Structure 1
Amino acid sequence: MCGICGELQFHDAPARDDAVIARLGELMARRGPDDAGVWRDGGRAWLAFRRLAILDLSPAGHQPMLTPDGRFALVFNGEIYNFGELRRELESLGVRFRSTGDTEVVLHALVRWGTTALDRFNGMFALGFYDRQERSLLLARDHAGIKPLYYMLDDRGIFFASQYDQILAHPWREGLPVSAEGLALYLRLGYIPAPYAILERTFMLEPGTWLRVNGDGQASRGIYYEFPMQVTPDLRGEAAYEAVDAAVSAAVRRQMISDVPLGAFLSGGVDSPLVVAMMTAAAGRPVRAYTIGSAGSAVDESADAAAFAKQTGAIHILEQFTPDRVLERLDDVVAAVSEPFADYSIFPTLLVSGLARRDMTVMLSGDGGDELFWGYPQRFGSVLDAAADFRRPHWQRSARWVTRRFTGLGNGHENLRWPSIGDWYRQKHMRYTPGMLDELFPTLPPWPAGFGLFDYDGWQPDETAYWLRWNEFVGHLTMVLLKVDRASMYNSLEVRVPLLDREVIAVATRVDWRSCLDLRTVTGKLPLRRSLARHVAHQTTAKRGFEVPMVDWLRGPLGELFRDVAVPRQELLGMPIERSAVERLLGDHQAGRADNSRSLWTLLSLVLWSERHFEPSGRFQIA
């Protein structure tokens, strides 16, 4: 795991100053503390790299990496788990390798196969690949968005980077206005999904896509992988469970290849205990598993994690944290995430990453299981139970809801008021109610015209179930992966995600949703539960995790901070804020009249991000 950045200028201009490149590289030093490299193609292009050495620890793994003839140069962040098979194929075609790692395989695969190589990579990655002869730059990102990649593109050139604060620090950023679309998405969802970003003319490359830009500024784009919205399943029951178990087991074995210490996160749920159990089976010896506990609180999962560790034979490293100790990491949370981000579960993710980094360089996690195997049963179940009601016209459904609301008669539930299931599901993911947003931000821009994440007007159960999974995979999961990347890389720790292995995904998309989600018992991830039962007798059903007491914090120390830094503001990123609405939002929460913690943290997080990352470089207006 590493950090990358680079630039291609479209016109003759002074070469980028060494001090600027050094500053941009230093910003990603935590992503790669083991080595650094810079390469130039005259004054028009340069690539920079910071290395966290995982495979081939020798100097042969140094980047930027060039082909022997010097024509092609690569900076690569990530891991390719099937690089051995690809290497053997390339060797049969006459390629001779100088290193033993995966980076050189990626380099020669791109030279030999072009963008078609991307779909052959089973791994996680972000890369910049430069052709000196054609003066073209290729950017690409893995199929699920595990690794980040940002870029800034205008008539001067293109600059790309692993972190958004590198975009903010680049000289071309000067004068760029705030993106109305990016700000609108953040305030509604708590993060900014690709391809949007917080500044105009800046973007996050979408998962499963590539972008090629030539020296004259011409750009072309392509998609090499799309998660399917609808499928025709052919795996059910026992056949599905066997296929999933085999795929996950193989993925865990593949992702245990490392030349440095490797362990696993361990929660009290299903996914990470399964990964730990399969790691133990593959290694034939105990693995080190890391857990943080919440010091005996009602939601503390450390006892369940300890039970899993005992039954799998894992060496369990557990550290307890009180809420006060967690809150002490606020500055680190703000520093770690260099783009607007409001998922406060990054607090525990940062803590467990720091705990693991004391001993490990690589960790395996259980992320992705919830999204692939219907692991949010209440969220999914509430929609699927009511889906058939949406076959009726909107006016008829609204009438049923109004009748029940004012007379108590009939069976019209409140969610029938939404025009479609997509509109209802969008509200489930929003940080504010629509009315609250209008009060706080009277000039808030609308949803971006091309943003189709919640466009769904169907109602049939099968179609709806697969749409729900697609929505979580391409939406919510990318936020989870963003959080894990920022928290782990802040601690110079690589996190691998075996449940998002290409082969696991291929099998998951063949499984009938009814073999994953039991609506009667409100239980999801049935294939993973069945696999886990092969290794342990202990299982949990509640989805808990280490919970941050944000409700209490905002009625205590964070509430005071909010009052100091957020309430006085008349604008944020150039957008007016209605101060009386902000005071009312905080007052209702602190008086116990409402739980506004998600809404308050979304606003406070943006203020803290702006003060740390944005305003030091100057204020800008919304485009």
Structure 2
Amino acid sequence: MCGIAGIYAYSASAPSVDRAEVRSIRDHMASRGPDGQGEWFSDDGRLALGHRRLAIIDVSERGAQPMQSADGQLVITFNGEIYNYRELRRQLERLGHVFRSDSDTEVLLHLYQAKGTGMLQDLRGMYAFALWDAHKQALLLARDPFGIKPLYYTPTHTGATRSNGTLRFASQVKALLAGGHADTAPEPAGHAGFFLWGSVPAPFTLYRGIRALPAGHCLWVGAQGAAEPQPFSRITDILAHAAANPAQGSVGDALDAIGAAVRSSIAAHHVADVPVGMFLSAGIDSALITALSSAHGERPHTLTLAFAEYVGTPNDESPLAEQLAAQLGTRHAAVMVRKEDFIEQREQLLAAMDQPSIDGVNTWFVSQAATLQGINVALSGLGGDELFASYPSFADLPRIRNLARPFSRWPGLSKGRRQLSLPLLIRITSPKYAGLVASSSNSCGTRCRHIPCRTATSALCWAGVSGLNLPIRALTARALPT
């Protein structure tokens, strides 16, 4: 990962960019980019872009950022990786584009020159970037369809008291706070979302003056400030289309399609100029990734997090992980974590956590261990459970929602049912299930595009929850026996 940052004084009445503030925001993210730092300032003092680098592709200085186009009209600061950048580069070269580096960052510059924002439809990868177009005198912010890479900004038309005709952006909320000019009034939706779900739902943060650019959206900032974020790829639309148009064929066809998709994804994630490791938990997802990754280049590094309190119990995954690593021939390391380690590092862990999350402790310790092992890029099975509905709860949610759907015929019952049922449901189940049942009559189906939903009572869109297992249902709906 890298860290990107910038300040754009778009209004003529706004003060010029404070270079010290830019550097404070950028360098607050030093842990995101330990391999280098960069900055670019416009001649008129109205715009500054900053970058902290973790070198993965073209680790030479030619890949340093912020990066300018050859004619100086475009400047980009980019966090992420474009997996199909080599194919895109070959296409651009056939059109006459000449490259000065081997980086995917430069491919973005040339692709924008060729297609404008239409470039976003061509990208396969995880990314967040800011691109300055001197001809348009406007700044483009964009974020990948799954929202893997973070991007936060200070909105210019939401009543934020301290924008003063200036937009600021960064890869971290705390980096914007370090700059000292974000409106830090509490954002109720962000706080409520965290207590309901254990994480802060986008586009909210804990602060009224900081927003997350939604996944699969881009945003233009010009002389009038920031426009509304515009979608270029909605996962909910893709899932809804798949559900409405189920694939034809046999069970074998479905399994072949899934297998090809997984292999293609793993191969794409191995596009790097540095070694790629794996977080091996001994679960099916990480074991599958490790097995398929073993076919790419040299023996991969694998890393397992073990907990001292679980040693000798069925909850200890490390022995099975070691067996898997031996069978797959990986260079394996197991790192033991004790209760005392958490106590000793608690304050450091919380300081490193950008937005609050109840699921960040394991990530902290395994990432720390990866750093000590010299692993800068690692794959994990994270997200596999959601995509493949591995746990019963992922399959139960849409069933519960479907069972509650008949109540939607009587909208007047909604308020009373919520008031009567919610206290009891919370006592016997989780807030997620309770909220789903209580809000069922307000659900608007898989076509809902609003987060938070403008008709539902909870902080998240139920369509997004109920669609979690749609990819597999869409592949197998007509192939598997009912």
Instruction: Tell me the residue number matched to 1:123.
Output: 125
Say whether the 8 Å CA contact 1:4–1:48 is kept in structure 2.
Answer: yes
Separation in structure 1 between the aligned mates of residue 61 and residue 146 of structure 2, nearest angstrom? 30
| One-letter amino acid of the counterpart of residue 2, structure 1 | C
Per-residue deviation at 1:386? Answer: 5.3
Structure 2 CA distance for partners of 1:361 and 1:510, relative to 1, 3 Å:
same
1:474-523 deviation per Cα after TM superposition (whole angstroms, max 9, x unaligned): xxxxxxxxxxxxxxxxxxxxxxxxxxxxxxxxx7584136979x99xxxx
Per-residue deviation at 1:455? Answer: 5.2
Separation in structure 1 between the aligned mates of residue 18 and residue 407 of structure 2, nearest angstrom? 62
Instruction: Tell me the residue number matched to 2:82.
Output: 80
| 1:380 correspondence with 2:394 | yes
Say whether the 8 Å CA contact 2:322–2:332 is kept in structure 1.
Answer: yes
Separation in structure 2 between the aligned mates of residue 251 and residue 62 of structure 1, nearest angstrom? 27
Structure 2 CA distance for partners of 1:428 and 1:172, relative to 1, 3 Å:
same
| 1:181 correspondence with 2:189 | yes
Structure 2 CA distance for partners of 1:218 and 1:30, relative to 1, 3 Å:
closer
Q: Does the residue aligned with 1:348 lie in a helix, a strand or coil? A: helix
Determine which of 200, 220, 225 is the counterpart of 1:217: 225
Per-residue deviation at 1:381? Answer: 3.9
Separation in structure 1 between the aligned mates of residue 98 and residue 203 of structure 2, nearest angstrom? 37
Tell me the matched-pair count: 437
Separation in structure 2 between the aligned mates of residue 451 and residue 8 of structure 1, nearest angstrom? 35
Instruction: Tell me the residue number matched to 1:163.
Output: 172
Question: Within 5 Å, which residues of 2 pair with 1:331-370?
Answer: 331-339=347-355, 341-343=356-358, 345-358=359-372, 359-370=374-385
Q: Does the residue aligned with 2:326 lie in a helix, a strand or coil? A: helix
Say whether the 8 Å CA contact 1:454–1:471 is kept in structure 2.
Answer: no
Question: Which region of structure 1 is more displaced relative to structure 2, 216-225 or 196-205?
Answer: 216-225
Say whether the 8 Å CA contact 1:189–1:430 is kept in structure 2.
Answer: no
| One-letter amino acid of the counterpart of residue 172, structure 1 | H
Separation in structure 1 between the aligned mates of residue 301 and residue 209 of structure 2, nearest angstrom? 44
Per-residue deviation at 1:393? Answer: 3.8
Structure 2 CA distance for partners of 1:166 and 1:450, relative to 1, 3 Å:
farther
Q: Does the residue aligned with 1:334 lie in a helix, a strand or coil? A: helix
Say whether the 8 Å CA contact 1:189–1:429 is kept in structure 2.
Answer: no
Instruction: Tell me the residue number matched to 1:427.
Output: 431
Instruction: Tell me the residue number matched to 1:292.
Output: 305
Q: Does the residue aligned with 2:202 lie in a helix, a strand or coil? A: coil
1:139-175 deviation per Cα after TM superposition (whole angstroms, max 9, x unaligned): 00011011000000225121110010122123432x5
| One-letter amino acid of the counterpart of residue 193, structure 1 | P
Structure 2 CA distance for partners of 1:509 and 1:208, relative to 1, 3 Å:
farther
Separation in structure 2 between the aligned mates of residue 182 and residue 387 of structure 1, nearest angstrom? 24
Instruction: Tell me the residue number matched to 1:493.
Output: none
Question: Within 5 Å, which residues of 2 pair with 1:468-617?
Answer: 468=465, 470=467, 510-512=474-476
Separation in structure 2 between the aligned mates of residue 209 and residue 184 of structure 1, nearest angstrom? 24
Q: Which has the higher contact order (CA 8 A, sep 6+)?
A: 1
Per-residue deviation at 1:107? Answer: 1.3
Structure 2 CA distance for partners of 1:391 and 1:267, relative to 1, 3 Å:
same
Separation in structure 2 between the aligned mates of residue 222 and residue 313 of structure 1, nearest angstrom? 46
Per-residue deviation at 1:209? Answer: 0.5
Separation in structure 2 between the aligned mates of residue 306 and residue 513 of structure 1, nearest angstrom? 37
Separation in structure 1 between the aligned mates of residue 293 and residue 429 of structure 2, nearest angstrom? 36
Say whether the 8 Å CA contact 1:333–1:347 is kept in structure 2.
Answer: yes
Say whether the 8 Å CA contact 1:329–1:347 is kept in structure 2.
Answer: no
Per-residue deviation at 1:385? Answer: 5.6
Per-residue deviation at 1:62? Answer: 1.1
Instruction: Tell me the residue number matched to 1:39.
Output: 40
Separation in structure 1 between the aligned mates of residue 121 and residue 468 of structure 2, nearest angstrom? 22
| One-letter amino acid of the counterpart of residue 166, structure 1 | A
Per-residue deviation at 1:29? Answer: 0.7
Say whether the 8 Å CA contact 1:272–1:366 is kept in structure 2.
Answer: yes
| 1:192 correspondence with 2:192 | no
Instruction: Tell me the residue number matched to 1:273.
Output: 287
Structure 2 CA distance for partners of 1:60 and 1:388, relative to 1, 3 Å:
closer
Structure 2 CA distance for partners of 1:69 and 1:12, relative to 1, 3 Å:
farther
| One-letter amino acid of the counterpart of residue 428, structure 1 | K
Per-residue deviation at 1:417? Answer: 5.1
Separation in structure 1 between the aligned mates of residue 98 and residue 395 of structure 2, nearest angstrom? 54
RMSD across aligned C-alpha pairs, in angstroms?
3.2
Per-residue deviation at 1:449? Answer: 6.5
TM-score (normalizing by structure 1): 0.65
Determine which of 55, 58, 61 is the counterpart of 1:56: 58
Instruction: Tell me the residue number matched to 2:448.
Output: none
1:378-414 deviation per Cα after TM superposition (whole angstroms, max 9, x unaligned): 2134346656643544799xx9xxxxxxxxxxxxxxx
Instruction: Tell me the residue number matched to 1:489.
Output: none
Separation in structure 1 between the aligned mates of residue 326 and residue 135 of structure 2, nearest angstrom? 58
Say whether the 8 Å CA contact 2:5–2:168 is kept in structure 1.
Answer: yes
Structure 2 CA distance for partners of 1:93 and 1:330, relative to 1, 3 Å:
same
Instruction: Tell me the residue number matched to 1:585.
Output: none
Identical-residue share of aligned pairs (%) = 34
Structure 2 CA distance for partners of 1:227 and 1:513, relative to 1, 3 Å:
farther
| One-letter amino acid of the counterpart of residue 259, structure 2 | D
| 1:313 correspondence with 2:326 | no
1:63-108 deviation per Cα after TM superposition (whole angstroms, max 9, x unaligned): 1111111111000000000001100111111110000010000111
